[in-house]
Amino acid sequence: MYSVVDTHSHLFVEDFDTDRHEVMLRAREAGVKHIFMPNIDLASVEPMLKVCAEYPDFCSPMLGLHPTEVKPTYREDLTQLKTLLDQHPFAAIGEVGLDLYWDKTYKNEQIAALEEQIGWALERNLPLVIHSREAFEELYALFSHYKDTAIRGIFHSFTGTVDEAHSLLEFPGFMLGVNGVVTFKKSTLPEVLREVPLSRIVVETDSPYLAPMPYRGKRNESSYVVRVVEKLAEIYGLTPEAVAEQTTNNAFAVFAAR
């Protein structure tokens, strides 16, 4: 059995309150070596830290303000999050980014919040885990200002075009996060990924969301990351073991830990 890393999973949310330990056991049995967990707002920090404390050898927390949680009080939220950042060891700044899919009302505030959190990552030499939805041009323009820095991280849940992939890969410290979307029957991601080197990909679940086939529409969990590995093996013409080894190495290169 091969080992693999789930670089993005929300196993601390209420969806797992009744069977979280069993979910963790299934992940270990499936070959998952480590799970990285992002919060989304202030309220989600405590439950995330609690779960990570219960599985310290298996789960690592990240910290950030998700773009959809950027509201008029975002500066106060960032102040409190930065205090927490000084009090606990976090593996990354995330999940942060830009999301203009639901609402563009706070677009400027989202950009300002992201810039501040990029600053945290650079100050602390931490990776960034970036969420982007309907905001590629804005994200690329912002990140272009940091090309000469040591910025690194993951563009989480990548589902873009070949051109967008090539643009994001201009940032050498970044990987593309691939999850269950790649297994969907109408997904164009397999064709796009054939133009992306496997050395720039990490795997993730985004549990409890985006469950891969044949579990689509059901609650996702970290053990299902093997379905992503299997699909990537098909795309790249490699064994699942080879894909797992490469993506695991990629993940630990980003997080520089574990």
Question: 44 pLDDT exceeds 50?
Answer: yes
Q: Which domain holds residue 221?
A: 4-255
The tens digit of pLDDT for each residue in 56-110 reads 999 999 999 999 999 999 999 999 999 999 999 999 999 999 999 988 999 999 9
Single-letter amino acid code for the residue at 109: E
What is the C-alpha to C-alpha distance for residues 204 and 67, in angstroms, rounded to an integer? 20
Q: Which residues contact 193 (CB under 8 A, 6 or more apart)?
A: 165, 178, 182, 201, 232, 235, 236
Amino acid at site 163: D
Name the nearest CA neighbour of 110 among 160, 166, 64: 64
- The string of pLDDT tens digits covering residues 141-177 is 999 999 999 999 999 999 999 999 999 999 999 999 9
Q: Rounded to 5 degrees, what angle do the CA atoms 242, 243, 248 make?
A: 100
| Residue 132 contacts residue 100 (beta carbons within 8 Å) | no
Helix, strand or coil, per DSSP, at residue 225: helix
Q: Strand locations in the chain, DSSP E? A: 4-6, 32-37, 59-61, 93-99, 128-133, 153-155, 174-178, 201-203
User: Which ranges in 3-149 belong to alpha helices (H)?
Assistant: 20-30, 45-54, 74-87, 107-124, 136-143
Q: Which residues contact 85 (CB under 8 A, 6 or more apart)?
A: 63, 120, 124
**201: nearest Cα among 231, 232, 163:** 232
The vertex-228 CA angle with 69 and 38, nearest 5°, equals 25
Q: What domain count does the chain have? A: 1
pTM: 0.97
- For residue 184, give the CATH number of its domain: 3.20.20.140
Question: What does the pLDDT read at residue 257?
Answer: 55
256: confidence class by pLDDT, cuts 50, 70, 90? confident
